[in-house]
Amino acid sequence: MARVMTQEESIEYLLGRSRRRDEVFPIRREFVQSSHIKSLPGDPSTGPGPLSKLLRTPHALELLLLVYAVTTGGDFGVTERSQLWARAAGIYMWPDKGASVAVSRQWEHLEKLGLIERRQHGRLKRIVKRHEIGRVGNMTANYTVPTGTKSDVYFRVPFAYWREDWHRKLNMPGKAVLMAAMSRRKETFTLPQDTRGARALGLSRHTMARGIAELLKHDLLVKMGPAEVVDGRAMRGFEWVLTYQLAKPFNINLSKAEVERRAAEERGPLTPQDDADRHNGQPG
């Protein structure tokens, strides 16, 4: 019997198609937490993004992440056989027509969410990436390269997600919390563990707790000390919460403000002479 590509070989083939030299790909924060959808009527906070609608369809999420990684320009589309997609996402390993049916169901789900568009391309389907916000009402948006501005924040996911086998080691709660953590774009951050906070991400409190525990178990999340944060719902207006840091290979997302803060901490406080030199235009 002729040899069939393994899941690892199929994934590596797709990643190689992307030609991303830095071996990371962007995802807008809107995928995790949307500013267009409120968690509760009248709630000023953001609401859940499309990720929350993929929690029960892990194969669809894997397909979507591969599409995000592979598509880099043009119409942001990719054309491959269903059998290749099926193997890469771990859906179906046999090289026959059953793969087409299995993968088609996952594409259909993603298309209904407004995250992809299927176009006929000869005898195959071309999968075109759509904006990460997904379907809002009856509307979807064309994909554009994220700018990184305040209204278009994105985080980066490394190819190590696949190459270090995290796509198989992590369950869906762990993957959801991992993306929520990366989307924070801070060295040290909080994760909502109350019902209301978890709901803003489209997660149950139980799922949030399971995801955090899973990342801690795999040493992808590091528990830091408690921090006092503003909480208007608390009696005194403040609340003590746990903070976390991401570990390698996922600790690669820092905002410009966070980079500047870290640089200032490493420099230490300015001395009177430093301050005088800065005002006189002398290099520090």
pLDDT tens for each residue of 29-40 = 999 998 865 444
Mean pLDDT calculated for residue range 242-260: 92
High-pLDDT (> 70) share of the chain, %: 85
Total number of domains in the chain: 2
Non-local CB neighbours of 102 within 8 Å, separated by 6+ positions: 82, 86, 91, 92
Residue 230 and residue 133 share a domain: no
pLDDT for residue 31: 98
15 & 102 share domain: yes
Domain span holding position 209: 184-267
- The predicted pLDDT at position 39 comes to 46
Give the Cα separation of 76 and 130 in Å (integer). 8
- 109 and 198 share one domain: no
Average pLDDT of the residues in 148-160: 96
On whether both 259 and 147 belong to a single domain, the answer is no
pLDDT(283) > 50: no
> Based on the domain organization, do 165 and 188 belong to the same domain?
no
Question: What pLDDT is attached to residue 233?
Answer: 59
Place of tokens 């099926």: 86
Q: Is the peptide bond before 249 cis (omega within 30 degrees of 0)?
A: yes
Residue 65 reports pLDDT greater than 50: yes
DSSP H or E segment with residue 17: helix 7-18
Summarize pLDDT for 229-246 with one digit per residue, the tens.
556 555 566 566 889 999
Lowest mean pLDDT among 97-101, 107-111, 161-165, 249-253: 97-101
Is the pLDDT reported for residue 62 higher than 50?
yes
Q: Are residues 195 and 241 in the same domain?
A: yes
Q: Do 60 and 109 form a contact (C-beta atoms < 8 A)?
A: yes
* Helix-then-strand count for the chain, H and E: 11, 9
Candidates 239, 149, 220; CA nearest to 179 is: 220
pLDDT band at 226 (very low <50, low <70, confident <90, very high): confident
Choice between 197 and 28, residue whose per-residue pLDDT is larger: 28
- Note whether residue 277 is domain-resident: no
d(CA 271, CA 164): 45
Alpha carbons 206 and 39: distance in angstroms, whole number: 17
Residue 97 resides in a domain: yes
Same domain, 155 and 46: yes
Query: Residue 42 — very low, low, confident or very high, per pLDDT cuts 50/70/90?
Result: very low
| Domain presence at residue 174 | no
Percent of the chain with pLDDT over 90: 69
Q: How far apart are CA 129 and CA 113, in angstroms?
A: 12
